[in-house]
Chains A and B, each alone.
Chain A
Amino acid sequence: MADGGHLLQVERLRTWLASGDAVVRAVDGVSFSLEQNQTFALLGESGCGKSMTALSLMRLLPENGRIVSGSVRLHGQDLTALPEVAMRGVRGRQIGMIFQEPMLSLNPVMPVGEQIAEVLHRHGPVEGRRAVRGRVAELLRAVGIPDAAHRFDAYPFQLSGGMKQRVMIAMSLAGKPDLLIADEPTTALDVTIQAQVLQLMRDLQAASGMSILLITHDLGVVAEMAHRVAVMYAGEIVELADRERFFGAPFHPYSRKLFAALPGWGKRTQKLEVIGGSVPSLTGTFRGCRFAPRCDLVWGLCHEAVPPWREVSPGQWARCHLTEGRRAAPAVAPAGLREAAPVPVAAAGEALLRVEDLRVHFPVHKGVFKRVAALVKAVDGVSLSIQRGRTLALVGESGCGKTTVAKGILQLIRPSGGRVYFAGTELTTLKRSTLRRRRGEFQFIFQDPYASLNPRMPIADIIEEGMVALGVGASKEERHRRIDDILAQVGLSAEARQRYPHEFSGGQRQRVAIARALAVGPKLIICDEPTSALDVSVQAQILNLLKRLQDELGLTYLFITHNLSVVEYLAHDVAVMYLGRIVEQGSAPEVLGRPAHPYTRALLSAVPVIERAAGRPVMRLQGDPPSPLAPPPGCHFHPRCPEALPICSGTEPPLVQISPTHGTRCHLHGPGIS
């Protein structure tokens, strides 16, 4: 790959980290090159060394990290050999970087304009206050911030997440870098905002001709952005190809597993493909292929020799022993079809959970006497129902009140209004003691498996706690037997019982959280984004587990998520939420296939997808979701709606039934219009 014309050329880069008394070979011989005006994506799951590679390029490694060998050439100049003083000129000037968390990368006590101006002073020859302000406004305009001239004095807390990420981009562009390193730039953002930011990055690239090194775990983002793709696994690149070739015919078994693990509409009847085992520890050296222990197509040579880096087809390189012939014949049968569990037919009157006009308002107190000054209407009249044994997906962007709905249903937050019927019982008026006895019937699985398990308690105690509180299991022995059974049911061994949460990986912790909920024998489980903190392959395991449990135990799920591919895979019914209200509701094929509300359509079109269907309408939302403290009058969506009518800003739209199971709240479908 050696050639003088590359913008960036990384060769056999090794970055090691000290961890206790061991060395973690986080980046172990990575080579790639990047051309002018190109987007190069580094794809991989967490812990495979993507971010360390980026930090090595910038020489911004943590104190316990060292580049031990290899070279990073930018315009032919080796950055690893530069003194730190010269490196400071490279950072920002030649290489810009944006990080995952825009909330953490801006100084909260400095106006954003000054933060950008700081970069200008460091790198640019801009003189005079006026000129600086002008240049900053220009940059802010370039990243699509409205009213750019007046944003100079805005503090980060006055901007939304998407705006902050735009400011970060403006800041990294201030030095006019040739290369922009974007480390998971949209992972913390909502889909509609993600779509805006990705579009912005494409536009900026087209305008300035800079190159982008995009680090991500999201195949959809890669498909929308990258020209070339490198897949990283356990500290090395296992496959490198053009986008077309990579998405057309991924070669390496790991790459193919990543595709197979993605949930989606087409896989509803199947089990998702999972990658068994876990990423190997990077503290030692490897004799054979690093992926061999988890590979389905493994053969003798894989364990004996490190696979060579070779061109498997023109423009596609991979580190794999498989030949075309072996690759064609999979060693194991593809994952079998799910046990043919027909979608239970929804019969009227069989609703396990019925929510009517649920409202959760949080008062905002002011003054000495804590007078209620305003109400945050987090949930403002939500009605939904779920039939026994079915899955309802509640979809919406962050801050729209999904989780509050869940907590209102579970009575973890007492609702301000409305009714919740669970198996015929009204929960909101139940007495504390009566409610406590029934808590076993509806359970909750949290988003972050790292925060939902008490780090100071062994697994057995964690699972047993709910059983003791609800009187499940008469004796200690009986409870312990049940814990063993349930651990086996969620795919954990009985030895897990005496261990502490920190000894488990994210996926295993989520299994423990599921086991804890199952232990009290619930009928309804509310899952709050249970896979959004997990890698794709682990997400597949958890989704498979949830589906299997539903088939075996007849569980009912209320599945809260913003990930539409998970919805497609799992949900029978879908409800779309926007700013405390449900805007559209219906069976999954109806809502996902024929979305009626403009917001649903925008949400669907904002999701980055791998195969761009021909004629898929592209609909980009402008602006950010408004604050629930001061929601817009009428239809909450009208300020962002491209199809808004005059009536939308005045009157709240009524529920319009499009079919017996499909309803929406939109004036476009109102009796007078359609």
Chain B
Amino acid sequence: MMPFKPVLLWTDLLIFLLFAGVAAFALYVRRHEHLAASWRRVVRDPAGMAALVVLVAYVAIGLMDSVHFRLPLANHGGETGRYYSAEVLSLLDVVASPLREHVEKTYSAPFATHLYAKEAIVLPDGRRIRGYPRLKYGGAQLAHPERERGPDILYTALAAAGKAALLWALLGYGLVQWLARRQRRSAAAVWAAMWRGGGEIPWRSLLATLGAILLLVFLAIGLGPKYHVLGTDKVGQDVFYQALKSIRTGLVIGTLTTLVMLPFALLLGIMAGYLRGWADDVIQYIYTTLNSIPSVLLIAAAVLIMQVYIESNPDLFDTVAARADIRLLFLCIILGVTSWTGLCRLLRGEALKLRELDYVQAAQAFGVGHWRIISRHILPNVMHIVLISVVMDFSGLVLAEAVLSYVGVGVDPSTQSWGNMINSARLEMAREPMVWWSLLAAFVFMFGLVLAANVFADVVRDAFDPHAEARRIPSAVLSRLFGRRPDGESHG
């Protein structure tokens, strides 16, 4: 008998499928030189690689949060069989169980030891006073929080930093040894090259970003169980935990929406451009019409219909998580259905151009069929546009989720998401004294993801855009190549 019951939510399934798809694509790229060459340009870019490390950290948390299961309930009084808790947990919940379980009464500020609001406290001697009660978990280990809190935070943080530095040094050492063996050079030479920032892969920026992330992880591990590092919300839940849980929602929206949108955009866009004639007219009218309906209106209508459907069929979903999940999935689908028009338009234009190219005409002169021409000649030659627009759209979709949830047509209120956090912060900002940490936490986490995604998207676009052929060459490379910078040269 298994000690737990695995639960496969719809979005989990799709996320793992997507992950497998990305892995398969990576294998395909390795075998195709013209694709590999472009990706090599991405790999060589220091900013791009730093952004990629940050993205990988986010994705790792998101994937951990996508492994769901239900724990068994303890058997009471000789019941036979196993009963599972109605609460669906994820791997992340288990790893971060101190965060999940340390629920206070209500608001508390980051690193606080007392509640944020005054309450009536019963003293041991029976007197009643109004004051700030101690928190149940935040800084509970301290006898004299006023004196001990500062040093305790400092020592814990230093210890965490020490551990992070140790692990980082170990990883760095392993990397240098591995590279030295692979390149058949001395470890010292490899280290020197890495430190100067030369070489094919920007190891220096990779290691630096990794170091920063390790530091953050160890700080969280060290301080998380002792304090509420980002405070608690109205019902006393740890805000840091909420922000972590929101990562999966953001990633799901950013990636699955694309998955929904791609078939529409690819099929319709290429068909319109390649076939021309009435097919083109029909498709153009469809997306022009769709584009002229305000998308928030469309999304709101669809979400409301969905909500009614879920509520009138409660027996379809056995847990709250499954309900929230289906709503998340439908939000992705609706966002996808309303957002394919931009890419479709781009692809139509590109297909219009490609169909007049000589190699397509040559294929037609051989009597090659339309589908074969589309799949062998048109599709591979528009893939760079698809890739660029998918990566660029990702951050926009993450932000869109926040906006939609704020408006109230986003994810289920029980789903942790940055949008929901911001939505609740709307009231908190109006309180006196102000509760600012929910908003800040959502902002910082979202900012990290979106910034990394944007930087990465820029690098991908530069690498794949055929118009960026005359690439800017860094002046450092120029001066290295030419030895010196001649006088009187103003450009460069």
Could you list which residues of chain A lie within 8 angstroms of chain B, going by C-beta atoms?
16, 18, 21-23, 61-64, 66-68, 80-84, 407, 410, 412, 435-437, 439-440, 443-444, 446-448, 451-457, 462, 465-466, 469-470, 500, 502, 513, 516, 520
Contact = CB atoms under 8 A, between A and B. Distances in A.
B366 A466 contact: yes
B367 A439 contact: yes
Q: Chain A: interface secondary structure?
A: mixed
A84 B481 CA distance: 23
A470 B473 CA distance: 47
Contacts of B491: 61, 63, 84
24 contacts: A63-B473, A63-B491, A66-B478, A66-B482, A66-B486, A83-B490, A407-B361, A410-B365, A412-B364, A412-B365, A437-B367, A439-B365, A439-B366, A440-B366, A440-B367, A451-B357, A452-B357, A457-B376, A465-B368, A465-B376, A469-B366, A469-B369, A516-B362, A520-B366
A63 B492 contact: yes
B470 A62 contact: yes
Contacts of B377: 454
Given A412-B365, A436-B367, A454-B377, 9 more contacts: A61-B491, A63-B492, A66-B492, A410-B365, A412-B361, A439-B365, A443-B365, A452-B358, A520-B366
B185 interface: no
B361 A470 contact: no
Contact of A68 (B362, B365, B486, B488): B486
B482 A81 contact: no
A18 B361 contact: no
Nearest to A522: B365
A632 B489 CA distance: 55
B279 to A, nearest CB: 14
B367 A469 contact: yes
A456 B492 CA distance: 34
B363 interface: yes
Contact of B482 (A23, A452, A469): A23
B473 A452 contact: no
A454 B490 contact: no
Interface string B336-375: 0000000000000000000001110111111111001000
A524 to B, nearest CB: 12
A22 B481 CA distance: 7
Contacts of B182: none
B372 A82 contact: no
Contacts of A23: 481-482
A82 B488 contact: yes
Contacts of A466: 362-363, 365-366, 368
B280 to A, nearest CB: 11
Of B369, B489, B490, most buried by chain A (CB within 10 Å of CB) is: B489
A308 B391 CA distance: 57
Interface in B449-492: 470, 472-473, 477-478, 481-482, 485-492
A430 B166 CA distance: 78
B381 interface: yes
B: interface residue count bin: 20 to 34
A454 B362 CA distance: 10
A486 to B, nearest CB: 15
A84 B486 CA distance: 13
Given A23-B482, A64-B473, A444-B365, A84 B490 contact: yes
B357 to A, nearest CB: 5
Given A23-B482, A451-B359, A66 B367 contact: no
B71 to A, nearest CB: 51
A27 B27 CA distance: 42
A18 B34 contact: no
B33 interface: yes
A435 B365 CA distance: 10
Contacts, number: 109
B380 interface: yes
A211 B59 CA distance: 66
Contact of B362 (A67, A437, A444, A456): A444
A21 B471 CA distance: 13
Interface in B219-262: none
Contacts of A64: 470, 473, 478
A435 B367 contact: yes
Nearest to B490: A84
A448 B489 CA distance: 37
Contacts of B357: 451-452
A35 B400 CA distance: 68
A497 to B, nearest CB: 14
A557 B372 CA distance: 29
Contact of A18 (B358, B481, B486, B487): B481
A477 B491 CA distance: 56
Nearest to B383: A456
Contacts of B367: 435-437, 439-440, 469-470
Nearest to B364: A412
Contacts of A410: 365
Nearest to B32: A456
A456 B381 contact: yes
B368 A469 contact: yes
B377 to A, nearest CB: 5
A150 B364 CA distance: 47
A21 B372 CA distance: 39
Contact of A81 (B364, B368, B488): B488
Given A18-B481, A465-B368, A446 B490 contact: no
Contacts of B361: 407, 412, 444, 446, 452
Contact of A16 (B359, B362, B364, B482): B482
A344 B364 CA distance: 32
Nearest to B372: A469
A465 B478 contact: no
A407 B489 CA distance: 51
A41 B491 CA distance: 29
Contacts of A16: 481-482
Contacts of A452: 357-359, 361-362
Contacts of B368: 465-466, 469
A500 B380 CA distance: 14
A410 B11 CA distance: 52
Interface string B71-107: 0000000000000000000000000000000000000
A437 B381 CA distance: 28
Contacts of A470: 366-367
A82 B486 CA distance: 12
Contacts of A21: 477, 481
A18 B477 contact: yes
Nearest to B357: A451
A82 B487 CA distance: 9
Given A67-B486, A68-B482, A83-B490, A465 B363 contact: yes
Contacts of A83: 488, 490
A149 B33 CA distance: 57
Given A436-B367, A454-B381, A466-B366, A448 B477 contact: no
Going nearest first, the 9 A-B pairs with the smallest beta carbon separation are A466-B366, A452-B358, A84-B490, A436-B367, A446-B358, A439-B367, A456-B380, A469-B368, A454-B359
A452 B361 CA distance: 8
Contacts of B477: 18, 21
B142 to A, nearest CB: 59
A456 B365 contact: no
Nearest to B359: A454
B372 A18 contact: no
Contacts of A455: 34, 381
Contacts of A437: 367
Contacts of B369: 469
A451 B363 CA distance: 13
Contacts of A63: 470, 472-473, 491-492
Nearest to B365: A444
A437 B364 CA distance: 12
Interface in B11-53: 33-34
B281 to A, nearest CB: 8
Interface string B376-392: 11001100000000000
